[in-house]
Amino acid sequence: MSDSRDAAVAAEPDGSEGDGTRPSGADRNDATGSDAEDGNATGAAGDGERNRNATDPAATRSAEPSTEGNHRREVATDRWLGIAGAALALVGLGVLVRQPSLVLAGAVGVGYAVYARTGEAPTPTLAVTRSVSDEAPAPGDEVRVTVRAENAGETALPDLRLVDGVPPGLAVVDGPARVATALRPGAAVTFEYTVRAARGDHEWEPLTAITRDVAGARERTTTLDAPTAIACTPELAAGGDLPLRGLTTVHHGRVPTDVGGAGVEFHATREYRRGDPLKRIDWNRRARTGELSTVELREERAATVVLLVDARESAYVAADPDAETAVEASVAAAGQAFSALLDGGDRVGIAALSPLDCWLPPGSGTVHAARGRETLATDPALAPTPSGERFYRSLWLRRFRRRLPGDAQVLFFTPLVDDTAATLARRIDAHGHLVTVLSPDPTTTETAGRRLTAFERRQRLRTLRSAGIRALEWGDDSFPVAVAAATRRWSR
C-alpha cells in the first residue's frame, strides 16, 4: 500500500445550493421540530438526495463530503407478503372453532403486518473512497483495493449492502468485493479485496448500495460513483522472426526482394556497366569467356506492415469461459510481432477490426515503439471486454483502405470464428496488400456444436490458403513456436 492514493470523491454539489434555494423549507422544519423533519426526510426520499440535503441543517456532522448517489430503484421486497392474510385466516379459524387463543395468535400476525408496513428504505448518504495499491501494475500483479464508505447522512442505515463495481476485465482473487453492514450516522465501513491485473485500461464502475428498512420489506438501490482506474501496460517482448512477404518499401531493411542490387544473396548476373564496383564483377566468368559481367545480389528492403487485430464482439471467444479470449492472444502476438518487426527496421502500424476506431500509422523509432505499446495495451478498441457497439463491415473496410499505405502488407490476427474475418482477409488481399492471417485457435471439441464450429474454422483456413493467403494458427503452443514452425514450411 505504499503508493496508495485516494480515488477522487465526487463532492456533493447540492448541499449548499439546497440550503440557499430553500431557506423557508429548512426554517419551517426547524420550527416544527425534529419529528416533522424526520417525516419530511422520509417523504422526500423518493426524490433522491437533493431534497434530503435541502432539509438537513446547515451544519453537517461529517467533514467528508458525501458521494453523489444515483438513485436506481425502490421496490417492495414482498418479504412479508401474505402475513396479513395468514393472520386473518388464523383469526377466522379462531372465530370458527370458538378458540380465543387462535384469535390471539392471529393478532400477533397482525402485529407483523403492521411492522412490515412501517418504515421506508433509507436513501444512503455515503462518502465513498476507493484506493488501489498500484495504479500502473504489470500483468499478473495483485492489486489491493480498499473501499471505505462513511454514512455522511443524518439517518441510520439499518441494513446496508455495498457491492463494488469491479471492472469486467479484472478477476478478484482474494476476498469478496462486497460488504453487508449497518451504519449509524458518522460510522464508516472499510472492505478490501485483491484483483489480478490484466492488460488494458480498467475503470471501476459505480459502487452499488442496497439499503433496506428494519423489517426488510422495502429495498432501495443506489449507485455511487467513485472514479478509480488502473492501467496495465505489458512490456513488449520480441517473439521470433516474423517472415514477411515480398511487398516492400524503397527503404533498406531485412526483407529479401526480387530486386537486384546490393545485398548478400545471389540474384542474377548482368552486363557490366561503367561504374560497377570491382568486387561485384564476376571474375570467374571473365576468366572463362573474357566478358565483363556484374553479379547482382538480392536487395533487402524494409517493409511497411500493419498489424490488424480482430476485436469484434465475435472475436471475444475462448475455449473456456474463464480463459483468456482470442483477442488477448491476438494482442499479445501482435505485441511480439510489433517489436520484432520494429527491431528489423520495418515500419509497423496497428489497426483494429472493431466498431471503435483504432489506427496507429506505420512508423519506426523509439517514440513509435512506445506509442505502439500504449495502443496495444490501452486502446478502447482493443479493450479486454467487447464494447457492445455495432460493427459495420463495409464502412470499416472503406476507412481502412483509405488509410492503408499502398505498399503496406497486413498481418491479420483473428480467431476466424466467422466468415466475415475470412472474407475481409481476401478483400484486403485482393486490393493488392499481401495478407498473412495469424489465428489463435479458440475452438474445442466437447460438444457437437463446438466440433462443427472447429470444422468450419479449419475449412476457412484451408480456403484462405488455397486463395494464396498465408495462414498460420496457434493453439496451446506459443506464438513464436508456431511462427518458427510455419517459417520452415513457407518458402519465400
Partner 1 sequence: MVAVAVGLLAALDRGIAAAVSPTSAVVTLLGVLGVVQGVRYANARRDRRRLLTEPGEPERRAPAAVPGSALDERIARAADPAPGGYRDRRDLRDRAREIAVDAVARDRNCSREAAATAVGDGTWTDDPAAAAFFGRRAEYPLRVRLSAGIRGRSNYWYGLRAAIDEIERIEEGEP
Shortest Å, Cβ 316 to partner 1: 6
Residue 281 per-residue DSSP state: B
Placement of cell 478490501 in the chain: 192
The residue among 2 and 466 lying less far from partner 1, judged by its C-beta, is 466
The residue among 83 and 295 lying less far from partner 1, judged by its C-beta, is 83
Could you give the CA distance from residue 387 to residue 382 in angstroms, rounded to a whole number? 9
Give the residue among 211, 242, 224 at the shortest CA–CA distance from 65.
224
The residue among 52 and 457 lying less far from partner 1, judged by its C-beta, is 457
Shortest Å, Cβ 323 to partner 1: 7
The residue among 216 and 246 lying less far from partner 1, judged by its C-beta, is 216
The residue among 2 and 447 lying less far from partner 1, judged by its C-beta, is 447
Q: How far is CA 77 from the centre of its chain?
A: 34
Shortest Å, Cβ 425 to partner 1: 18
Shortest Å, Cβ 100 to partner 1: 13
The residue among 62 and 181 lying less far from partner 1, judged by its C-beta, is 181
252-280 residues labelled b (16+ CB within 10 A) or e (exposed): ebbbbbebbeebeeebeeeebeeebeeee
Task: Spell out the residues 6+ positions from residue 304 whose beta carbon is closer than 8 angstroms to its own.
Answer: 248, 249, 346, 347, 348, 349, 362, 405, 407, 408, 409
Shortest Å, Cβ 153 to partner 1: 20
- The angle formed by the CA atoms of residues 89, 93 and 99, to the nearest 5 degrees, is 135
Q: Which three cell numbers stand for residue 340?
A: 520484432
Shortest Å, Cβ 164 to partner 1: 6
State the CB neighbour count (10 A cutoff) for residue 335. 26
CB 27, CB 40: distance < 8 Å: no
Shortest Å, Cβ 290 to partner 1: 53
The residue among 53 and 325 lying less far from partner 1, judged by its C-beta, is 325
Could you give the CA distance from residue 350 to residue 308 in angstroms, rounded to a whole number? 6
Residue 365 per-residue DSSP state: S
The residue among 318 and 397 lying less far from partner 1, judged by its C-beta, is 318
Could you give the CA distance from residue 175 to residue 164 in angstroms, rounded to a whole number? 12
Could you give the CA distance from residue 264 to residue 72 in angstroms, rounded to a whole number? 70
Give the residue among 66, 232, 368 at the shortest CA–CA distance from 360.
368
Q: Which three cell numbers stand for residue 411?
A: 498481418
Q: Which three cell numbers stand for residue 399?
A: 476507412
445 φ, ψ (degrees, to nearest 5) = -130, 40
Shortest Å, Cβ 71 to partner 1: 13
Could you give the CA distance from residue 114 to residue 134 in angstroms, rounded to a whole number? 51
Could you give the CA distance from residue 426 to residue 424 in angstroms, rounded to a whole number? 5
Residue 18 per-residue DSSP state: H
Shortest Å, Cβ 144 to partner 1: 14
The residue among 147 and 410 lying less far from partner 1, judged by its C-beta, is 147
The residue among 212 and 301 lying less far from partner 1, judged by its C-beta, is 212
3-state secondary structure of 354: coil
Shortest Å, Cβ 248 to partner 1: 35
